[in-house]
Amino acid sequence: MRLLTLATLTIVSALMFMGHARAANYNPDILWNIVNSCVDNEHQHNAPKPCTLVNLRPDRAHGFAVLKDIRGATQYLLLPTRKITGIEDPLILQPDATNYFAEAWKARRFVERAAHRRLPRTFIALAVNSQPSRGQNQLHIHIDCVRADVAQAIAKQENHIGKNWAPLGVALGKAQHQYLAMRVNGANLGRINPFKLLANQLPGARANMGQHTLVVVGIRHHSVPGFVILDYQIDHAGDFAAGEELLDHNRCGAAAPPTH
């Protein structure tokens, strides 16, 4: 398979941020084609282009790729190397499923590299949009900085965020969406899989996963590293749950200390 051109990648970037109605005019498998190209090039040339990284361990069915998104200086995407359509795909809930969120958190190093700064964990967020709000039918986790206003709102609410799903208590994003939130401890996600936390612990979510969006934000609660996991569900016609709204693709790392 030939390397995809810059023009093709530009189309991909545009698709990521279009409304679902406009994106319907485009090929929803472009990201999947890119993943295949990255895997082919890794096998044939030991170079994952156009991806930044391809990890096929232990096999392709459990592997993933990391791709630089053209929009924003620091935004990356993590994608499975097997066909998984999105948050609604039952494969992400299988017992042996790769913890793609855990791998996406590890991949934040590429965001730091692009920002030329060492970023505190509280700067970084991961997001998966709902099925109606996306333009591509290949699971992709957005990796970038969290918006400053979102980080501040979470910091103010941290003492009220528990270990079970509950309303965050403050609206987030330009659309002022009311997210549910839960807090987990740990420097890394490890065995903590946000997809499974949503499906197993929020009543009704498993049967309706495609209507949900998930966002994971790094925190440090009373000096203990952890994460706040946010969920929002489509609640009326025309309100498409896109947690990516909480990420900052424009000014990532602007206030972070420089890397030495």
Task: Report the percent of the chain where pLDDT is more than 70.
Answer: 86
Report the domain count for the chain: 1
As a whole number of angstroms, the distance between CA 220 and CA 225 comes to 4
Mean pLDDT of the chain: 88
The answer to the question of residue 23 being in a domain is yes
Q: How confident is the model at residue 25 (pLDDT cuts 50, 70, 90)?
A: low
The answer to the question of residue 130 being in a domain is yes
pLDDT digits (tens, 9 = 90+) for 68-99: 998 899 999 999 999 999 999 999 999 999 99
The answer to the question of residue 141 being in a domain is yes
The answer to the question of residue 257 being in a domain is no
pLDDT digits (tens, 9 = 90+) for 38-67: 999 999 999 999 999 999 999 999 999 999
Domain range enclosing 32: 6-248
Concatenated DSSP letters of 60-86 = GGG-EEEEE-SSSSS-EEEEESS---S
Tell me the two tokens of residue 153: 């709102």
The answer to the question of residue 258 being in a domain is no
The answer to the question of residue 105 being in a domain is yes
Tell me the mean pLDDT in the region 231-239: 82
The answer to the question of residue 253 being in a domain is no
Tell me the mean pLDDT in the region 127-155: 95
Peptide bond into 258 cis (omega under 30): no
The answer to the question of residue 162 being in a domain is yes
pLDDT of residue 196: 98
pLDDT digits (tens, 9 = 90+) for 171-208: 998 888 999 999 999 999 999 999 999 999 999 999 99
- CATH number of the domain where residue 192 is located: 3.30.428.30
pLDDT of residue 240: 76
Tell me the two tokens of residue 167: 């309303």
